[in-house]
Structure 1
Amino acid sequence: MKLTKFAHACVRMEKDGKVLLIDPGTFSEDAVFEQADAVLITHEHPDHVDVERLRGVQAPIFTTAGVAGQLNDERVTVVADGQSFDAAGFAIRAYGRNHAMILPELGVPCENIGYLVDDAIYHPGDSFTQPDREVHTNLVPISGPWFALPAAVEYARSVKAQQTVGIHNALLSDVGLGMMQRWIGDAGGRPYHALTPGQSIELS
């Protein structure tokens, strides 16, 4: 399987001629929306879902009730924690219920679902919800209003992954991006890939 990172939290996976897209948001490049056989969206914030551009993507969409309400499209299937389903030939498991809190007085911003793809790649959305099994590649959020470095390092340590890839990073400067090799990779105890938008890795 081929994993390509795009801007911010968006990733694309390719296998057997099929394309699975996760979290194509308002920061995503136009090319992201040109081809998809299925789309997974973790939650309703615009940096994870670009409603207008998704209208031009003719593919089934799997997501939360909040996103389904925004899209109002028959292609959308609402999924929840604990569900397993097929998306364009990819085996998906859904994890979690809540977006990470930004400030305690604001409470939980919205529902958030993480996705484990083919028991290999895990995308948590805006949370540090952990899957219930070892994975090959853990996508670790590395910035955002809700982000906390200690929680991110503990998350990288706790998820038994062969490697980690930094995502959710549009707010970071080059200095901040460089620091994450030390904190998420070295301190987290897992090999770390700081992929730039458009860069890919192969999973055997």
Structure 2
Amino acid sequence: MMKLTHYGHACVLVELSVGDDIIRFLFDPGDYSRGFEHEADIDAVLITHAHADHVDGERLGKLLADNPGAELVLNAHTQAALAGLWGIAPSRTRIVSPGSTFTLRGVTVEVVGGDHACIHAALPTVPNNGYIIDGSLLHPGDALDGPAGSVDVLLLPIGGPWMKIGEAIDCLRTVAPRLAVPIHQAGLAPVHQKMHCGLLRDLAPDGTGIAVLDHGVPQDVGASR
């Protein structure tokens, strides 16, 4: 079983069945997202990069305090950007970079990507981690460089100053997952969210479905193992 709850923009709770246990990973609790603050029994919080729409330091600190068993996974740049905002034991922090693979609560996590997609050449590049969970689900952060045929479920950004929808469609066709879930949409007007999702449905490769999740509502998206 894999269950997803979208808390807006890039924040998604992923629940996986592992034997008799349910493992709960929360991605990118940023300042455009709402509702994740009330989650309990989180096993890990994974941050793709340091931009505020992907990590709200104040609410992250409270979330970690309320979930003392949760591990925080992030890159070194994000750790440095958040330094001093809250205290967290080093034993609960895992610093990772693209090319590494590790195990959390019996679930394999592969780190992919490298850099945030270019907004403009005049701006500095920000390190960005994508995460493949259990070989099944990819959260790419702010990049559209998912490996071809890599996953069953793709969390697909559909709007931002660093992208256009044609690039998302190309990523969708390259990765060709069984299911794509649109994320990173908070900056789009509702009419444009609907338009972009319609384009994804019209131009998705054969065998790929598009699932637009209601805010804060868990949805079973199929078997994870």
TM range (shorter): over 0.9
SS of 2:193's equivalent in the other structure is: helix
Q: State the alpha-carbon separation in 2 of the partners of residues 169 and 162 from structure 1.
A: 21
Q: How many residues align?
A: 203
Question: Which residue of the partner structure matches residue 13 of structure 1?
Answer: 14
Residue 27 of structure 1 pairs with residue 32 of structure 2 = yes
Which of the numbers 39, 46, 54 marks the counterpart of 1:48?
54
**Residues 149 and 174 in structure 2, CA contact (< 8 A), matched pair in contact too:** no
**Residues 99 and 111 in structure 2, CA contact (< 8 A), matched pair in contact too:** yes
**1:32-89 deviations in whole A, cap 9, x for unaligned?**
4532211110000011011111112132111111111133442221101111112233
Residue 197 of structure 1 pairs with residue 215 of structure 2 = yes
**Residues 156 and 182 in structure 2, CA contact (< 8 A), matched pair in contact too:** yes
Q: State the alpha-carbon separation in 2 of the partners of residues 193 and 63 from structure 1.
A: 27
| 2:5 partner letter | T
| 1:47 partner letter | D
Judged with a 3 Å threshold, the aligned counterparts in structure 2 of structure 1 residues 92 and 168 are, in CA distance, closer, same or farther, namely: same
**1:157-182 deviations in whole A, cap 9, x for unaligned?**
00021011100011122211111232
SS of 1:24's equivalent in the other structure is: coil
| 1:185 partner letter | R
Q: State the alpha-carbon separation in 1 of the partners of residues 38 and 61 from structure 2.
A: 10
Coordinate RMSD, CA, aligned: 1.6
Judged with a 3 Å threshold, the aligned counterparts in structure 2 of structure 1 residues 104 and 70 are, in CA distance, closer, same or farther, namely: closer
Which of the numbers 146, 155, 161 marks the counterpart of 1:130?
146
Which of the numbers 93, 116, 132 marks the counterpart of 2:110?
93
Question: Which residue of the partner structure matches residue 66 of structure 1?
Answer: 77
**Residues 33 and 53 in structure 1, CA contact (< 8 A), matched pair in contact too:** no
| Greater Rg over alpha carbons, structure | 2
**1:3-53 deviations in whole A, cap 9, x for unaligned?**
111111000011223211011111222444532211110000011011111
Using the size of structure 1 for normalisation, the TM-score is 0.92
Instruction: Give structure 1 stretches of 5+ with no counterpart.
Output: none
SS of 1:145's equivalent in the other structure is: coil
SS of 2:122's equivalent in the other structure is: helix
Question: Which residue of the partner structure matches residue 186 of structure 1?
Answer: 202
Instruction: Give structure 2 stretches of 5+ with no counterpart.
Output: none
Q: State the alpha-carbon separation in 1 of the partners of residues 188 and 148 from structure 2.
A: 30
**Residues 33 and 54 in structure 1, CA contact (< 8 A), matched pair in contact too:** no
SS of 1:114's equivalent in the other structure is: strand
Using the size of structure 2 for normalisation, the TM-score is 0.84
Q: State the alpha-carbon separation in 1 of the partners of residues 46 and 157 from structure 2.
A: 17
**Residues 116 and 131 in structure 1, CA contact (< 8 A), matched pair in contact too:** no
- Which piece of structure 1 moves more, 34-43 or 24-33? 24-33
Q: State the alpha-carbon separation in 2 of the partners of residues 31 and 153 from structure 1.
A: 28
